[in-house]
């Protein structure tokens, strides 16, 4: 199960996706606060089904939306696209309704769940059926529209009081439409086809969310009524304007006009590109991903194009329409239609992409900042628990490595702010000790390190860690006293068996909690010093091994020796090799020298 504490989630509205170890989406959900909703799965007791789902989560992805309404639509799209096994509420292929303006003479305007590509216009979909019915009532109130295919009789009118309807009639050879407002008033008026179609244009603008012309027209009507002292009608228009002000335009998540489209948001800093990709299929967002790409010296248009194409390939995107916040024409092939939208719904989609991208970038920064803050907290605790003179931002650790006194080496590794600074690691070949003596070896390496630091006037560490117990620690302390820096630095030793922490002049060690973060940090530093020393020791042993045997052969140089060791792996295999094997590696002349040498060398 995923560790929810390590995931930073926004408080924005949006959609979250739970993904299992096979990279399959197992659940899609929406919320007005992604942070609260997602964490609730991990902080509360749930039924068996949800508990099982949570146990399968290995990764969490999310898409930030502009509103909860957008999130609900996006959730619906993703569920239909991926059919996650734990989604049940929207798995029945439920479809949100659209408002259609039918392609016909005297177009009808009505709510439908069927999207038929017959040239009619569709607006939506709408998640709140009650709200859209209210909107249609508002539209009917302002611009009476035809809602059925048949003529309404007077009986039908009487049977549908307080409702709105229209019927088509002919008069003197001209087609007219009978419109009436609230039917209880039984006030009827005839509309010409031209006037009716003009009203449909205003209805279309309302459904698009473009109210400017509609309001201007209504305000003009209101002024006319007010001027003619028809205050009731003027008030009626004002109420209609108020209703329009409260209406919220439709979502950008789904649009029949977008069809297939790729949205690519790109921002950059000195070191990296941050890229967000949205896949729009049949007007619906069905895929989203954000990624960070480090810039290299050779990074250019070709590399950026490869990233964009790999994203399209990953999401099986075959469409040629791409919108972005930067001009991609010079970056990707001319076969793609690339645009930088300045306004409209495509601009809203691009803004949504950039909003997700900015959170992604901020999240990466916060993760790094959080790790640094956590490590700082550990360093502060380490200072307090070990009663150090200062917070150990700069730590140096020493380790000795030898086998039977041969090739004795030492390592010094450096940690800054709790993290390794590998470029400042140092390795030492012990020069003054020719026998297995860790104490003397420690004296030599500590002296070499800090006498040079003093000579070059570099910074002393806040804490020195010696890999070893009392003996190694005492040896290091003697050197520090000789160099007159003993009181200027903190120094401790760590013994391997019980992981005991030793202090100078203190016979009793300190035991930190085995699971404490402070001990883990010290162990990590000690292990890194040991690893670095061992690797150096192996290198010297290998070089000595080659020298001790093969250097005795006259006419065989270092390059030849390396070729033989790479080919056979050991001296024993070189000795057992036949002439033909040796000839393939080093040629006839040198093979004779090697073969003759080992043939004449006495066996052990």
DSSP string, 263-329: EEEEEE-SSEEEEEEEEEETTEEEEEEEEEEE--TT-SHHHHHHHHHHHHHHTT----EEEESS--T
Report the CATH number of the 4-82 domain. 3.40.1440.10
Q: What pLDDT, on the 0 to 100 scale, is given for residue 449?
A: 95
Mean pLDDT across the stretch 127-131? 62
Looking at per-residue pLDDT, the higher value among 434 and 592 belongs to 592
394-541 and 4-82 share a CATH fold = no
| Higher-confidence position of 159 and 255 | 255
Which residues is 265 bridged to in the sheet?
276
Q: Which residue has the tokens 């050991």?
A: 570
Interval 94-118 mean pLDDT? 82
Q: What is the pLDDT of residue 317?
A: 79
Asked whether the beta carbons of 256 and 207 are under 8 A apart, the reply is no
Task: Provide, rounded to the nearest whole percent, the portion of the chain with pLDDT above 70.
Answer: 80
- Top-confidence residue, 270 or 184: 270
On whether the CB atoms of residues 480 and 492 are closer than 8 A, the answer is: no
Residues ≥6 apart with Cβ < 8 Å to 298: none
Per-residue confidence (pLDDT) for residue 373, from 0 to 100: 67
Q: Which of 177-186, 203-212, 317-326 has the lowest mean pLDDT?
A: 177-186
Burial call 300-325: b when 16+ CB within 10 Å, e when fewer? eeeebeebbeebbeebebeeebbbbb
Report the pLDDT value the prediction gives residue 3, as an integer from 0 to 100.
72
Mean pLDDT calculated for residue range 269-291: 80
Would you give the DSSP letter of residue 172?
A: T
Mean pLDDT on 277-288: 76
The H-or-E segment that residue 577 falls in is none
Is the peptide bond prior to 12 cis by the omega test (within 30 degrees of 0)? no
Q: Give the C-alpha separation, 195 to 201, whole Å.
A: 10
The answer to whether 281 and 321 are in contact (CB under 8 A) is no
The confidence score (pLDDT) of residue 190 equals 66
Distance between CA atoms of residues 206 and 370, nearest Å: 48
Instruction: State residue 150's pLDDT score.
Output: 36
Lowest mean pLDDT, pick from 332-341, 535-544, 549-558: 535-544
**CATH number of this structure's domain 261-362:** 3.30.420
Q: In whole numbers, what is the pLDDT of the chain averaged over residues?
A: 78
Token readout for 87 is 């989604």
Query: Considering only CA atoms, which of 72, 68, 79 is closest in space to residue 11?
Result: 68
In the block, tokens 């909003």 appear at: 355
Provide the pLDDT confidence category of residue 250 given band limits of 50, 70 and 90.
very low
CA 46 to centroid of chain Cα atoms: 28
pLDDT band of residue 182 (cuts 50, 70, 90) is: very low
SS3 553: coil
pLDDT of 356: 85
The Cα–Cα gap between 80 and 131 comes to 24
Lowest average pLDDT, out of 231-240, 254-263, 413-422, 440-449, goes to 254-263
Stretch (H or E) spanning 397: strand 394-403
Residue 294: pLDDT above 90?
no
Q: Any residues with CB less than 8 A from the CB of 48 and at least 6 apart, and which?
A: none
**Residue bearing the bigger pLDDT, 212 or 600:** 212
- Report the distance separating Cα 457 and Cα 454, nearest Å: 5
Q: What percent of the chain has pLDDT over 90?
A: 16
What mean pLDDT comes out for the span 504-520? 87
CB hemisphere CA count around 341 (13 angstroms): 21
Helices 34-43 and 48-56, packing angle to 10 deg: 110
pLDDT at 298 over 50: yes
What class is the 394-541 domain? Answer: alpha beta
pLDDT value for 547: 53
- Decide: 286 and 77 in contact? Cβ < 8 Å: yes
Please determine, for residue 169, whether its predicted confidence score (pLDDT) is greater than 60.
Answer: no
The predicted pLDDT at position 508 comes to 85
* Spatial strand order in the sheet of 166-171: 166-171, 174-180, 188-192
Q: Phi and psi dihedrals of 112, rounded to 5?
A: -150, 150
> What average pLDDT does this structure show over 458-481?
93
- Greater model confidence, 315 or 296: 315
Can you give the residue ranges of every domain in the chain?
4-82, 98-211, 261-362, 394-541, 551-600
Element (H, E) at 364: helix 344-386
- The arithmetic mean of pLDDT across residues 179-193, rounded, is 50
Give residue-wise pLDDT tens across range 551-566.
778 888 878 887 887 7
| 121 in Cβ contact with 211 (< 8 Å) | no
Kindly indicate the confidence band of residue 215, based on its pLDDT and cuts at 50, 70 and 90: confident
CB within 8 Å of 573: residues ≥ 6 apart? none
299: pLDDT strictly greater than 90: no
Confidence of residue 543 (pLDDT cuts 50, 70, 90): low
The gap from C-alpha 188 to its chain's centroid, in whole angstroms, comes to 61
Helix axes 129-142, 193-208, angle to 10 degrees: 140
- The confidence score (pLDDT) of residue 70 equals 72
Q: How far is CA 215 from CA 179, 206, 219, 221, 330, in A?
A: 22, 10, 6, 10, 43
């Amino acid at each position: 199960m995923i560790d929810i504490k390590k995931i930073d989630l926004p408080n924005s509205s949006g959609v979250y996706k739970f993904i299992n170890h096979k990279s399959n989406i197992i659940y899609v959900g929406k919320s007005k606060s992604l942070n609260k909703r997602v964490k609730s799965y991990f902080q509360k007791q749930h039924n068996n089904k949800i508990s099982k789902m949570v146990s399968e989560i290995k990764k969490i992805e999310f898409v930030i939306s502009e509103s909860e309404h957008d999130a609900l639509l996006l959730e619906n799209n993703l569920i239909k696209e991926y059919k996650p096994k734990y989604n049940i509420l929207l798995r029945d292929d439920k479809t949100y309704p659209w408002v259609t303006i039918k392609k016909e003479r005297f177009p009808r305007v009505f709510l439908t769940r069927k999207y038929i590509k017959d040239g009619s216009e569709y607006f939506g979909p709408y998640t709140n059926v009650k709200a859209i019915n209210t909107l249609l009532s508002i539209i009917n109130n302002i611009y009476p529209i035809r809602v059925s295919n048949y003529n309404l009789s007077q009986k039908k009118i009487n049977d549908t009081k307080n409702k709105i309807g229209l019927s088509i009639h002919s008069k003197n050879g001209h087609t007219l439409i009978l419109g009436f407002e609230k039917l209880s008033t039984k006030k009827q008026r005839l509309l010409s086809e031209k006037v009716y179609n003009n009203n449909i244009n205003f209805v279309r603008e309302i459904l698009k969310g473009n109210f400017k012309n509609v309001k201007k027209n209504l305000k003009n009507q209101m002024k006319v009524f007010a001027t003619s002292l028809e205050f009731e009608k003027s008030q009626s228009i004002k109420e209609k304007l108020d209703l329009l002000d409260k209406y919220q335009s439709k979502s950008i998540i789904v649009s029949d006009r977008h069809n297939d489209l790729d949205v690519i948001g790109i921002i950059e800093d000195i070191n990296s590109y941050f890229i967000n990709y949205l896949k729009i299929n049949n007007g619906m967002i069905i895929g989203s991903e954000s990624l960070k790409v480090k810039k290299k010296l050779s990074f250019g248009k070709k590399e950026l194009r490869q990233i964009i194409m790999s994203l399209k390939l990953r999401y099986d995107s075959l469409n040629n329409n791409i919108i972005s916040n930067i001009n991609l024409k010079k970056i990707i092939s001319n076969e793609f239609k690339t645009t930088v939208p300045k306004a409209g719904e495509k601009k809203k989609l691009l803004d949504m992409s950039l909003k997700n991208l900015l959170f992604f970038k901020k999240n990466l920064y916060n993760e790094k900042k959080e790790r640094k803050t956590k490590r700082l907290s550990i360093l502060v605790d380490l200072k307090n628990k070990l009663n150090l003179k200062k917070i150990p931002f700069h730590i140096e650790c020493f380790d000795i490595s030898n086998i039977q006194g041969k090739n004795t080496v030492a390592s010094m590794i450096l940690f800054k702010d709790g993290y390794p600074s590998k470029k400042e690691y140092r390795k030492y070949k012990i020069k003054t000790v020719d026998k297995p003596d860790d104490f003397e070896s420690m004296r030599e390496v500590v002296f070499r390190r800090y006498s040079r630091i003093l000579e070059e006037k570099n910074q002393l560490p806040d804490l020195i860690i010696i890999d070893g117990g009392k003996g190694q620690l005492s040896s290091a302390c003697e050197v520090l006293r000789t160099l007159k820096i003993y009181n200027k630095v903190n120094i401790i030793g760590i013994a391997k068996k019980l992981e005991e922490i030793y202090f100078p002049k203190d016979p009793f060690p300190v035991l930190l909690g085995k699971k404490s973060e402070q001990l883990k940090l010290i162990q990590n530093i000690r292990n890194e010093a040991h690893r670095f020393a061992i690797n150096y020791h192996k290198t010297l042993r290998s070089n000595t091994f080659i020298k001790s045997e093969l250097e005795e052969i006259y006419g065989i140089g270092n390059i030849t020796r390396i070729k033989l060791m790479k080919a056979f792996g050991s001296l024993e295999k070189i000795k057992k090799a036949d002439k033909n094997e040796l000839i393939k590696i080093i040629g006839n002349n040198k093979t004779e020298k090697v073969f003759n040498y080992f043939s004449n060398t006495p066996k052990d």
